[in-house]
Amino acid sequence: MTGKNSSVLAQLSNQVQILGGFVILIWVIEILDVFVFRQSLDRFGILPRNIIGLRGILFAPFLHGSFAHVAANTMPFLVLGWFIMLRGTKQFYFVSFISALVAGVGTWVFGSPAFHIGASGVVFGYLGFLIFKGYFERSAIAIFLSFTAAFLYGGVLWGVLPLQRGISWEGHLFGFIGGVIAAKILSPTKIPSDP
């Protein structure tokens, strides 16, 4: 095995551990929440405009309302997260942090008065990042990933609108905005050419 192949395998193994580790964590937390804590962990979510609800900015992405809720977030998290990781794990961590932070703060300020939980704010952040990364960067790989992400998951963008009761559209919307912000920050600054 050549050094290049070994490096690619090591990188792929690292990506699988990071993405798989998060997915295992959210499933274990939901299993414990259902069978041990009787859904009482949900109160650690974001409670808008309430001081105690600020802790949810940190905890909400790890909490879900049901097994169906976790399942709905699992595949897009893995696919979109891996697309971001193709450009590096540091970029993945940065996009995850900005998406979760903007989703959390936006939901805390503007959200409806209920506990908001779930990783979907981060997932929408990944989608926003991937779609707008192509626009900001204008590289072939970024544009390809933008179109691929939009093709696979563009239909979920209806989730940023208040169309379904009990769904935190605020988390979706602000997560998406967080992803766009991350795409802008991580895009190379164009140096103006001489006239």
76-97 pLDDT, tens digit each: 999 999 999 998 999 999 999 9
**Does 193 map to a domain?**
no
Per-residue pLDDT tens over the stretch 112-153: 999 999 999 999 999 999 999 999 999 999 999 999 999 999
**Does 113 map to a domain?**
yes
The residue segments making up the domain with residue 153 are 3-186
d(CA 99, CA 121): 7
| Tokens found for residue 29 | 């937390």
| 102 pLDDT higher than 60 | yes
- In the three-class reduction of DSSP (H, G, I as helix; E, B as strand; rest coil), residue 116 is classed as strand
Question: What pLDDT, on a 0 to 100 scale, did the predictor assign at position 2?
Answer: 66
Contacts made by residues 83-86, CB under 8 angstroms, sequence distance 24+: 83/126, 83/130, 83/145, 83/148, 83/149, 84/126, 84/129, 84/130, 85/15, 85/18, 85/19, 86/141, 86/145
Read off the pTM: 0.94
Question: What pLDDT, on a 0 to 100 scale, did the predictor assign at position 73?
Answer: 97
**Does 141 map to a domain?**
yes
**Does 192 map to a domain?**
no
Question: Torsion angle, CA of 44/49/50/51, rounded to 10 degrees?
Answer: 90
- In the three-class reduction of DSSP (H, G, I as helix; E, B as strand; rest coil), residue 183 is classed as helix
CATH number assigned to the domain comprising residue 177 = 1.20.1540.10
**Does 191 map to a domain?**
no
Give the count of domains, the chain: 1
**Does 8 map to a domain?**
yes
d(CA 130, CA 19): 17
**Does 109 map to a domain?**
yes
**Does 194 map to a domain?**
no
Question: Torsion angle, CA of 76/82/84/87, rounded to 10 degrees?
Answer: -170
Terminal Cα distance for the chain, rounded: 51
